[in-house]
C-alpha cells in the first residue's frame, strides 16, 4: 500500500467514526428534548412570560395545539408539569379589565337598555 492509499483509508475510518458519533449524539439530544420541542416553543414561552393576553389571534390555535402536545409528551415521559395558572391569570385580568364599561361599549349598553326599557314599558302600558 502506498502512502496515498493509507491516508485515504485512515481518513475514511475517521470520517465514518465522526459521523457515527455525531449521529448518536444527535439521537441522544433529540430523545432528551422531544418533550422540550412543544413545551419550549416560542409561542408557549411567550404565553408563559407575558401571559395569554399577549397572544395574537392567529397564535391561539397553535398555542392550544402545542399546549395539549406538551402535556401528552410530558405524560409519556413521566415528567410532572407545574400546574399552569395562565388561564386563571387571563380570566382574572379580563374580569378586572371589564368591570367598567367605557367608550363604544358604554354607547351600545345605553342604546340597548334605553330601547328595551321603553319597548317593555310600552308593552306593559298597552
Partner 1 sequence: MIKKISYIIFIFIFSSSIQAQYKISYRLGLGMGFTKPDNFNLSLSSIELSKIGSTWFPLHHDLSINIYPSLRIGYKKLSTKLLTYNRSSNNYILPIVFHGINIESFFTFRNRFEINFGLSPMLGSAKFINNKLTVTDEKLGVEGKTTAEIKNSTLGFYSSIGLRMYLMSFLSIDSSVGYIYAKFDEKWKSKANENPISGSIDMTKPFFQVSAVIGW
SS3 80: coil
If phi over 0 gives left and psi between -120 and 50 gives alpha, with beta otherwise, what is residue 103? Answer: left
Cα 97 from Cα 53, distance rounded (Å)? 12
Per CB under 8 A, does 12 bind partner 1?
no
Out of 98, 124, 125, 126, the only residue in the binding site for partner 1 (CB under 8 A) is 98
* Binding-site member from 13, 68, 101, 121 for partner 1 (CB under 8 A): 101
Binding site for partner 1 (CB under 8 A): 52-53, 55-57, 60, 87-88, 90-91, 94-95, 97-109, 111-113, 115-116, 119-120, 123
Amino acid at each position: 500500500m502506498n502512502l496515498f492509499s493509507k491516508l485515504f483509508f485512515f481518513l475514511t475510518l475517521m470520517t465514518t467514526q465522526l459521523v457515527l458519533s455525531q449521529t448518536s449524539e444527535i439521537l441522544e439530544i433529540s430523545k432528551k428534548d422531544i418533550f422540550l420541542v412543544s413545551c419550549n416553543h416560542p409561542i408557549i414561552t411567550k404565553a408563559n412570560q407575558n401571559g395569554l393576553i399577549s397572544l395574537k389571534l392567529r397564535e391561539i390555535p397553535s398555542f392550544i395545539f402545542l399546549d395539549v402536545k406538551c402535556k401528552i409528551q410530558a405524560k409519556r415521559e413521566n415528567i410532572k408539569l407545574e400546574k399552569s395558572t395562565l388561564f386563571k391569570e387571563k380570566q382574572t385580568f379580563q374580569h378586572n379589565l371589564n368591570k367598567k364599561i367605557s367608550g363604544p361599549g358604554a354607547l351600545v349598553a345605553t342604546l340597548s337598555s334605553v330601547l328595551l326599557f321603553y319597548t317593555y314599558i310600552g308593552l306593559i302600558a298597552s
